[in-house]
């Protein structure tokens, strides 16, 4: 299941997800709301079902979600910085909580930069700045303006993903 009302026009309440989790072929939920309380409720209400998994869909909450019982993340920023996103998970699973939190803090400016434009334009612009010819989004999604492109470039440079 995918809980992201702006993209799906539907909200899957945690209590509803818990009931649906009892159906054998429903194995998890990705929560992209960015509402940590909501994420915690998914985890709390389904924690006793070993066949159901909660995935974090907001990149800034990966570490916190793992600490509370989420099994992983499907992160938009992994398209631009896959190693950094994987580092959060890998370090956490290896018991390096400090390293995982450091990786989370390093990722956050990139995720916050995605609010400069409409998804997936910021991701595509980042990939293009990194040398990947992924092309532009189709209308009605607008291209980032020059100032936004510069700000994104600065974030990518801080992560070592583009030359300064």
Query: Is residue 106 annotated as part of the catalytic site, yes or no?
Result: no
Q: Measure the CA–CA gap between 145 and 103, rounded to whole angstroms.
A: 29
Beta bridge partners of 2: 30
Pick the catalytic residue from 30, 91, 124, 149: 30
Query: Is residue 47 among the annotated active site residues?
Result: no
Q: Which residues are catalytically annotated?
A: 2, 30
């Amino acid at each position: 299941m995918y809980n992201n009302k702006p993209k799906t026009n539907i909200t899957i309440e945690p209590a509803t997800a818990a009931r649906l989790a009892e159906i054998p072929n429903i194995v998890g939920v990705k929560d992209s709301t960015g509402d940590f309380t909501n994420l915690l409720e998914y985890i709390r209400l389904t924690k006793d079902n070993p066949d159901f998994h909660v995935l974090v869909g907001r990149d800034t909450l990966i570490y916190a979600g793992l600490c509370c019982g989420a099994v992983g993340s499907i992160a938009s920023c992994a398209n631009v910085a896959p190693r950094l996103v994987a580092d959060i998970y890998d370090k956490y699973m290896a018991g390096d909580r400090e390293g995982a939190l450091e990786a989370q803090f390093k990722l956050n400016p990139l995720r916050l930069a995605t609010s400069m434009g409409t998804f997936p334009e910021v991701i595509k612009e980042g990939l293009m700045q990194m040398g990947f010819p992924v092309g532009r989004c189709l209308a009605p999604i607008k291209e980032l303006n020059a100032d936004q492109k510069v700000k994104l470039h600065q974030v990518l440079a801080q992560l070592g993903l583009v030359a300064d």
